[in-house]
């Protein structure tokens, strides 16, 4: 029997770049088997080479907005790794700005809802049987933009607001077998966590960092650490909650100066 068969299985959607890549690596380091699901085959293949020495990792290309592809993803995950104990719904369109509402194309609006919200629903739906059996958990990635906005971000904000509502609905429907929680990141710099062909060295001013009460912009590892905690027995009495990871920005009162 493979030494990995007794290890729990985590499925991380959007797990090949950015916050998802950090989550996938952190889970592997903590002894999870990890299925990385991502629409970007180049990024996923790169992750397999990057993480292979950390533990049992697999990759599958998927568009989480397609139910047939999500159903196949679950089947492949079970065949390669085993029943799912943790689902991290991280996949999503990450660019919040879609232009003025008067010019927002219906197809763009719908794509944001399909990927960011319906994708969470479909993955949760098709992983639910495994999660009930393993007494597992779901972690949904929301956003602080579900509660506060900049101009021209309607599609993104609406999709993430839906994720947070779906989060507590799932927590009640899947209780007591499955815990469901959300993480809402603020400003997280992902430039160095992209695939090689898209990676960039970010530059941020002192003001960018200092506007955060904690004194810096967030890193993908900041979110991954909360995932590890929520997935552990230390969080066994927690469900239906949303954890904001933004360096305190949501608590800071801002006034425009003359």
Q: Beta partners for 57?
A: 34
Q: Under a CB-based contact definition with an 8 Å cutoff, are residues 73 and 60 in contact?
A: yes
Buried b (16+ CB within 10 A) or exposed e, 67-104: bebbeebbebbbeebbbbbbbbbbbbbbebebeeeeee
Tell me which DSSP letter residue 90 carries. Answer: -
Q: Under a CB-based contact definition with an 8 Å cutoff, are residues 162 and 202 in contact?
A: no
Q: Under a CB-based contact definition with an 8 Å cutoff, are residues 119 and 89 in contact?
A: yes
Q: Is 97 a catalytic residue?
A: no
Cα pseudo-dihedral 238, 164, 173, 76, rounded to 10: -90
How far, in Å, CA of 194 to CA of 188, rounded? 13
From the candidates 97, 112, 156, 255, which is the catalytic residue?
Answer: 156
Active site residues: 156
């Amino acid at each position: 029997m493979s030494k990995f068969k007794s290890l729990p299985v985590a499925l991380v959607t959007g797990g090949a770049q950015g916050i998802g890549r950090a989550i996938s690596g952190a889970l592997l380091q903590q002894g999870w088997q990890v299925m990385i699901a991502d629409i970007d085959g180049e990024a996923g293949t790169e992750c397999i080479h990057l993480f292979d020495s950390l533990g049992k990792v697999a990759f599958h290309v998927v568009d989480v907005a397609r139910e047939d592809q999500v159903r196949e993803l679950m089947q492949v995950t079970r065949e390669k790794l085993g029943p799912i104990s943790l689902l991290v719904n991280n996949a999503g369109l990450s660019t919040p700005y879609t232009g003025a509402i008067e010019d927002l194309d219906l197809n763009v609006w719908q794509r944001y809802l399909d990927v960011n919200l319906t994708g969470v629903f479909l993955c949760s739906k098709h992983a639910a049987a495994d999660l009930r059996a393993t007494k597992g958990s779901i972690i949904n990635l929301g956003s602080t933009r579900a509660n506060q906005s900049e101009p021209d971000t309607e599609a993104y904000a609406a999709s993430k607001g839906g994720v947070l509502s779906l989060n507590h609905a799932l927590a009640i429907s899947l209780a007591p077998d499955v815990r469901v929680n959300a993480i809402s990141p603020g400003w997280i710099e992902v430039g160095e966590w992209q695939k090689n062909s898209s990676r960039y060295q970010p530059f941020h001013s002192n003001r960018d960092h200092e506007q955060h009460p904690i004194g810096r912009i967030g890193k993908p590892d900041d979110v991954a650490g909360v995932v590890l905690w929520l997935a552990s027995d230390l969080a066994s009495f927690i469900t239906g909650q949303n954890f904001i990871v933004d360096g305190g920005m949501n608590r800071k009162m801002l006034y425009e100066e003359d």
